[in-house]
Amino acid sequence: MPWQTSVRCSAAACALLLAASCEIHQAETGPPHIEPVSIGLGDAERAHIQLNLSAGELVVRGGATKLLEGQFEYSVAAWKPIVDQSGNGADVDVTIRQPHGGGGFGNTRNRWDLELNDKVLLDFTLDCGAGQTRLEMGDLNLQRIAVHMGAGQVDLDLRGQPSHDYDVTLAGGVGQATVRIPHNLGVRAEAHGGIGHVEVTGLNKRGDYYENSLYGASKANLRLKVEGGIGEIRIIG
């Protein structure tokens, strides 16, 4: 049976949401800066991609012929993202972070639009605050996804055809998250720890977990954990 649990958000959580919206640095805006980003594939077989976006709009999807491709659009020069790359050969680490005080509200613009390589094994970490995030990850070669939310909205689409098991963790603040899970692989989900509103469809309750009939029997399994203080979470199977 689908699972749904509701509790009232605390006044403290609402205050945190308001505070996150007010922490946007008031900087002089100008014409939008549009800056391409490209990181070569080289001999990479495994990559750890870490994104830190305190406020703004983020879109991540597959389809890159290189390790990472895309563009940044920002209306304040001081918000230019900082890109760091380390490692060589088969293992690569990439970190993209927003300078302190970045934003994306009112008349400002702060958007990252990124594509990742479908073949390289990915360990993907995202720290995001206020704003909207759309992650279309189903076609990627995933090992692990970890998303740490603030007061924003996250839409995580995992629908695809993975060839091996992987893990997904969502944790954090008072925002809203939607996770779209595939129908063609085993899925186990758990959600706990002060979450305001939880709705799970397409999975059945089995003890402390929620699973579909394919979990443990299919060639690939998804293990999803949602924990800690998220205002609203929807898991759609």
DSSP string, 1-27: --EEEE-PPPHHHHHHHHHHHH-----
User: What's the pLDDT tens digit per position in 137-184?
Assistant: 999 999 999 999 988 899 999 999 999 999 999 998 778 899 999 988
Determine how β-strand 176-180 pairs with β-strand 232-236: parallel
pLDDT confidence of residue 9: 36
pLDDT confidence of residue 1: 40
pTM of the model: 0.86
pLDDT confidence of residue 20: 41
> Residue type at 232?
E
pLDDT confidence of residue 28: 65
> Residue type at 214?
L
Cβ atoms 162, 186 nearer than 8 A: no
pLDDT confidence of residue 157: 98
pLDDT tens over the chain, length 237 residues: 444 333 333 334 444 444 444 444 455 677 889 999 999 999 999 999 999 999 999 999 999 999 999 999 999 999 999 999 999 899 999 999 998 755 555 578 899 999 999 999 999 999 998 899 999 999 999 999 999 998 889 999 999 999 999 999 999 877 889 999 998 899 999 987 767 778 889 999 888 889 999 998 999 999 999 887 777 888 998
Give the number of C-alpha atoms closer than 13 A to the C-alpha of residue 108, restricted to the C-beta side: 22
pLDDT confidence of residue 19: 44
**CA–CA separation, 195 and 200 (whole Å):** 13
User: What's the pLDDT tens digit per position in 113-122?
Assistant: 999 999 999 9
